[in-house]
Structure 1
Amino acid sequence: MTLKDVRDRWIEDRRSQGKAERSISIFQRNFAAFIDYLGGDEDRDAKTITPDDIEGWIAHLLAKGLSRKSIGDSHIALVKAGFMLSRRKLPQWPFENVRFTVPEKRTERSKGFTSDEASAILKAARDGLGRGPRTPETLRRAYRWVPWICAYTGARVGEIIQLRKQDFREENGIKFIRITPEAGTTKTGMFRDVPLHEQLLAEGLWEFVADLPPGTVFMPKPKTEGAFIDTTAVAGRLREWIRTTVGIKDGRVQPNHAWRHRFITVARGKMSDETRNKITGHADGNVSAGYGETELPVLVEAIAQMPRIAFT
């Protein structure tokens, strides 16, 4: 069994379960980096991989300056998962007695944006800060609208970046977005409808999208129909824009994911946990949550409880 066999077997297993292509793409990237470290031979016999190889690889990643959390969560965990599926075919377990600890992260501030940070980002987006004549059109749209939509929906940034024009919908006078794996990927593999906050409508989002041609709103149109949409590049540009252009440099907050944390913090006490989870796409572990749907009017009422972000 070669390293290629180990990789392909894991990918085939994930796809057979209908798992998100984004997670498969991340695995492929990290497993390829592991093979490169070993010399780049994907036809190497997987049985020859030893704990010494794993420990040397970890030392290599540390020397590159990667954080211990990134190494543990993204590199070791994914490569180990790949080998785990083929473990019974390996006479020696490559991770035998390999110990790698990730120190507990100190919490010194909220994971979500403060009111001042949120205000600064949304104002910069509205004012066109950092958008020049050479900025691609879809990226200009992303700078303008993705932070705003994330702020008032609590959605994952990738879920918003992959939105298509047809995902902006209206039923019985209710304007909402449909976040669906049909557009790209969702963590739970399920669709959900999220009403648009009145502030988004007041900003002109609905009219803006109505004037666009069919297809993706914040990304270039895929070259082939049904191709996997990788939102990583646009998310990276948004992260850089918030850090360098807007000036939110605090390394203790993740520029894209902080909207999700902020929304959930503000929503607590304003809507039920079940409704909040329906809006944000969080699995609550309750069996009953898999039965029935939450009707749009209920979600509209909940979204209406979210206060406007004030501007100074």
Structure 2
Amino acid sequence: MLRAIPSRRTGQPRYHFRRIVPALLRPLLGKTEISLVLHTSDKLVARERAAALYARTGQLFRAGKMQHPTKDDLLALYRDLIDSYEAALKAQEDSAAKVLEAERAQHLIEKADLVTKQSTFFNTVLPHMEGLLKGLGQLRHTLEKREVWAVTEKQGLQNQITTLCGLIQTSLPHNEDKPDGQKSSSKQPRSMKLSAAADKFVFSVSSKSAGTIKGTGKTVALFTEAFGDIPVHQITGDVVGEFYDLLSGLPTTHGKGKVTLPLRDAVREAEENGAELVSGKTVKNHFSRMSAIWSELVLRDLAPKNPWANWSFDLTQKTNRRAWSEDELRTLLTSKWLGRVFPERTYRGIVRIALYTGMRLGEICNLRNEDIEVLNGIPCFHIRPHTVEIDGKTREWSPKTSAGTRIVPIHSKLLEKGILEEFRNAGPYFFSELPISNFGVRGANFELIFSKHKRRLNLPTQVTFHSFRHLVSTVLRNQDSHIRELWIDDLLGHEATHKSQGTTQYTSAIYLQNLQRVVEAITYPDDIANW
């Protein structure tokens, strides 16, 4: 009847009610057992709720056996049972919240009363204590001028006066404890809100990349949803710890569907359903973005310390990314594209380039028409940092690493498919139909829609768009055509152990011929090659 299932996030037991449905009623209810979450980790509370449910389900079963209701009538009784159970739970939660609110109010009243009494006490004794201090000071002055006592006796009296002054000063209220009207007028430390800090140190900084701005925007939005746009001095270790727990309990699907549950609801539902949770790397990325903001705040004395630093994360990789298999590629390439944000031809063009170059998605989406060059008679993609003016806004982009700046010869299969004639246009970008996301990232929308398309085809999570890059690397390294590792690394833009060749070396006739040999070694079965 009562079942405890450990929480995947906290390890604490979460209790469930289970009861077998009588065989006679199973065809009517359409289930073999009734299972409900009790929404508690307290065993005593779980027993009370389970007992109430046992009584209600007993009534349901007796009605089904004795009154011979129709299927619709029995289902209506079952829905009534569920509704009444949920209403009772909500009433209990509301009652507990009211009790907690009342206890907090009582605590505040008692605290205010204590502060009032303390203030009255200090207002009464403060003048006397200050007068006593003044008298002791005068006594010290008199003692220093009198020659009546011996030196040792005088020193002893001075020490006693010093001790008494120290005791009185210790008993006096500090500046923050003084009653109204006696506080120092020193300026209180400034404190900006989180959104203002993010805008000042990230969103308004021209040197920040679009990816950094997008990621920081997501992190700040999650935090603000959970705690509000609060001043940075209120974001302490306790608050950061609670945010850590919330992030660690988020399902991997959060924010990826048409409807996104509120943060705390998503965590609760993921725990109840045993959903797959985000990786430790994702949590670490959120913390790194917030830590970068706090580094600036601490430097400017706008925050006393950085509560986002020195946290530990489970960086065990949950899913091992790998290359596409040939069967998975066939499933992907032969399926109908249902995306509406951009046309199918854009989807095909991007996937084809990934298949025959191993370029990163960001590199493909940010290709400009002027990046298509013919060097020593070889058509090439020139991947390099650049700046583009669009609608009065300046967009800066650069490859992921310094090795990402490179020349990639265009595969003969791409040229046969007429990719240059199909996509070259008068605008700045080669794939002109790709939209730019709200954070200014070209390709973010493509990656999201591609992932949805892949899930619709029930393809495994181990393969993503980045798997095209793994695929090209695997195909090339399995070739028996005397292709040097150095050339493969240079083609893919890997940070290799050898010294970088540099773009100047890339443009030499011999080196371009070697790179072209590498590119042309990328081959697939005919049905894939002819897609």
- AA of the residue aligned to 2:355: A
Within 5 Å, give how 1:113-128 maps onto structure 2.
113-124=324-335
Question: Is 2:439 the partner of 1:218?
Answer: no
Within 5 Å, give how 1:29-68 maps onto structure 2.
29-41=218-230, 44=231, 46-66=232-252, 67-68=278-279
- Match among 492, 501, 516 for residue 300 of structure 1: 516
| Separation in 1, partners of 2:500, 2:348 | 38
- AA of the residue aligned to 2:282: I
Question: Is 2:198 the partner of 1:7?
Answer: yes
- Match among 290, 297, 314 for residue 79 of structure 1: 290
Q: CA deviation at 1:188?
A: 2.2
| Separation in 2, partners of 1:105, 1:64 | 15
Check 1:257–1:195 CA distance in 2 against 1; reply closer, same or farther (3 A cut). same
- AA of the residue aligned to 2:285: S
Question: Is 2:410 the partner of 1:196?
Answer: yes
Within 5 Å, give how 1:270-285 maps onto structure 2.
270=479, 271-284=483-496
Q: CA deviation at 1:303?
A: 0.8
Q: Contact 1:167–1:179 at 8 Å: present in 2 too?
A: yes
Q: Contact 1:51–1:97 at 8 Å: present in 2 too?
A: no
- Residue in 1 aligned with 2:306? 93
Larger radius of gyration: 2
Q: With a CA cutoff of 8 Å and minimum separation of 6, indicate the structure with the bigger relative contact order.
A: 1
Say what the alpha-carbon RMSD is for the aligned residues: 3.3
| Separation in 2, partners of 1:120, 1:272 | 32
What is the number of residues matched between the two proteins? 291
- AA of the residue aligned to 1:75: H
Q: Contact 2:362–2:443 at 8 Å: present in 1 too?
A: yes
- For the residue of structure 2 that corresponds to 1:293, the secondary structure is helix
| Separation in 2, partners of 1:131, 1:10 | 40
Check 1:221–1:242 CA distance in 2 against 1; reply closer, same or farther (3 A cut). closer
| Separation in 2, partners of 1:20, 1:256 | 22
Q: CA deviation at 1:307?
A: 1.8
The answer to which of 277-286 and 230-239 deviates more is 277-286
- Residue in 1 aligned with 2:353? 149
- Residue in 2 aligned with 1:249? 459
- Residue in 2 aligned with 1:186? 399
- For the residue of structure 1 that corresponds to 2:374, the secondary structure is strand
Q: Contact 1:275–1:294 at 8 Å: present in 2 too?
A: no
Check 1:205–1:131 CA distance in 2 against 1; reply closer, same or farther (3 A cut). farther
| Separation in 2, partners of 1:172, 1:291 | 14
- Residue in 2 aligned with 1:207? 421
- Match among 366, 369, 389 for residue 162 of structure 1: 366
Q: Structure 1: any 5+ residue segments left out of the alignment? A: none
- Match among 256, 264, 280 for residue 473 of structure 2: 264
Check 1:69–1:111 CA distance in 2 against 1; reply closer, same or farther (3 A cut). farther
Quote the sequence identity (%). Answer: 23
| Separation in 1, partners of 2:526, 2:281 | 35
- Residue in 2 aligned with 1:28? 217
Q: Contact 2:423–2:431 at 8 Å: present in 1 too?
A: no
Check 1:272–1:86 CA distance in 2 against 1; reply closer, same or farther (3 A cut). farther
Q: CA deviation at 1:157?
A: 1.1
TM-score (norm 1): 0.78
Q: Structure 2: any 5+ residue segments left out of the alignment? A: 1-190, 253-277, 389-396
TM-score (norm 2): 0.48
- AA of the residue aligned to 1:276: I
Check 1:100–1:206 CA distance in 2 against 1; reply closer, same or farther (3 A cut). closer
Check 1:166–1:141 CA distance in 2 against 1; reply closer, same or farther (3 A cut). farther
- For the residue of structure 2 that corresponds to 1:194, the secondary structure is strand
- Residue in 2 aligned with 1:105? 318
| Separation in 1, partners of 2:500, 2:410 | 26
Q: CA deviation at 1:175?
A: 1.5
Q: CA deviation at 1:37?
A: 2.5
Check 1:78–1:55 CA distance in 2 against 1; reply closer, same or farther (3 A cut). same
Check 1:221–1:241 CA distance in 2 against 1; reply closer, same or farther (3 A cut). closer
| Separation in 2, partners of 1:241, 1:68 | 22
- AA of the residue aligned to 2:429: T
Deviations 1:116-145 (A, max 9, x none): 223443444xxxx2258xx45x43232211
